[in-house]
Copies of this chain bind each other. A is one copy, B any other.
């Protein structure tokens, strides 16, 4: 078992807990925020102040949007199993798939080869973005990160995320590429679609050095906080049982 039974993330020893090589009690608690710790856990190094600010903005932007299908699923699960808070949170996270939070991952995955192709050159970035959009449109596919059913003109999170990235000097190639993608899409189709909040989050996470394969994980961390808030509210003001009763009544034509 010696080879694979290894993790660089953390371990507990009799007199210390070690996280990514740091002593949890003396080097992390009271010294880093939970956001900085999350960066450290996944990336293996501490973020700069600017990186932490951008990651905070991403997590804050994705934590909650009200009575979404995932929040409703978590609250209905709590209705049936109030003794198992972890079950209700897990049920809420299970709906964080391709339809909603998957855009975070899809956008990062769409931008990764564009940024790789440009290799740091701005002109090549513009060209690569256009080529990628053309290719996707030719396949009849949609461009991830563009358009939103509610925020039809501007997703308010998007300009704010660019502003925060700029102010903290961490506006990197994926965020830049996403703007070029939106431009190319508008030119090629004649339709102006806003960059949505999930898309800009995915681009920001890619700029923070995270692979597109893991960026959905940050959306899950963020969303878990929203779900806990919904469950705290559910304890005081139940919505799951009345929702069920009303659906049940209507389903029988009462």
The residues of A with any CB-CB pair to B shorter than 8 Å are 1-17, 19, 23-26, 28-30, 32-35, 37-38, 41-42, 53, 55-57, 59-61, 63-73, 76-91, 93-102, 105, 150-154, 156-157, 159-161, 163-164, 167, 197, 210-211, 213-214, 216-218, 220-222, 224-233, 235, 237-244, 246-248, 250-253
Q: Is the CB of A34 within 8 A of B60?
A: yes
Given the complex of chains A and B, what is the CA–CA distance between A77 and B220 in angstroms?
14
Main secondary structure of the interface of A (DSSP, over half): helix
Residue of B35, B229, B243, B244 near A247 (CB, 8 A) is: B243
**A160 touching B7, Cβ below 8 Å:** no
| Contact between chains at A29 and B161 (CB < 8 Å) | yes
Cα distance, A98 to B246, chains bound together (Å): 22
Are B233 and A8 in contact (CB-based, < 8 A)? yes
Task: Verify A157–B17 contact, CB threshold 8 A.
Answer: yes
Q: Is the CB of A1 within 8 A of B247?
A: yes
**Cβ-closest chain B residue relative to A165:** B30
Q: For A79, give its contact among B6, B26, B69, B222 (CB under 8 Å).
A: B69
Contact B98 A67 (CB under 8 A): no
Contacts of A250 in B (CB 8 A): 1-2, 5
Other CB < 8 Å A-B pairs besides A32-B56, A77-B94, 19 of them?
Answer: A1-B1, A4-B239, A5-B243, A10-B226, A15-B154, A30-B167, A34-B55, A34-B56, A38-B228, A41-B229, A42-B229, A42-B232, A69-B243, A72-B247, A84-B94, A86-B220, A87-B94, A217-B231, A224-B224
